[in-house]
Amino acid sequence: MSFKSKRKSVVQAFESDLVTIRLDKIAPLYVVPPQTKKTVKYQRISSSIREIGLVEPLVVNRPSAEGDHYILLDGHMRLAVLQDQSVSATKCIVSTDDEAFTYNRRISRLATIQEHKMILRALVKGVPEERLAKALNINIETLKGKKRLLDGISSEVAELLKDKQVAVAGFRLLRKMKPMRQLEAAQLMVAMNNFTVNYVKSILIATSDDQLKDQAKPKRKLGVSKEQLELMEREASNLDKQVRLVEDSFGSDHMDLVLARSFVARLVRNDQVSKYLTVQHNGLFVELSKIAERSSFTH
pLDDT tens for each residue of 227-255? 766 676 677 667 767 766 766 666 677 77
Q: Which of 1-5, 125-129, 184-188, 238-242 has the lowest mean pLDDT?
A: 1-5
Of the CA atoms within 13 Å of residue 299, those in its CB half-sphere come to 2
Residue pair 222/262 in contact (Cβ under 8 Å)? The answer is no
Give pLDDT tens digits for 131-162: 888 877 778 888 888 888 888 898 999 998 98
> Which pLDDT does position 237 carry in this prediction?
66
Mean pLDDT, residues 81-89: 93
Which sign does the torsion angle of CA 95, 97, 100, 105 carry? negative
Closest residue by Cα to residue 158 from 140, 179, 142, 137:
179
Mean pLDDT, residues 20-49: 88
Q: Taking all residues of the chain, what is their mean pLDDT, rounded to a whole number?
A: 79
User: Is the pLDDT confidence value at 79 over 90?
Assistant: yes
Confidence of residue 295 (pLDDT cuts 50, 70, 90): low
pTM for this structure?
A: 0.49
Residue pair 66/32 in contact (Cβ under 8 Å)? The answer is no
> Which pLDDT does position 229 carry in this prediction?
64
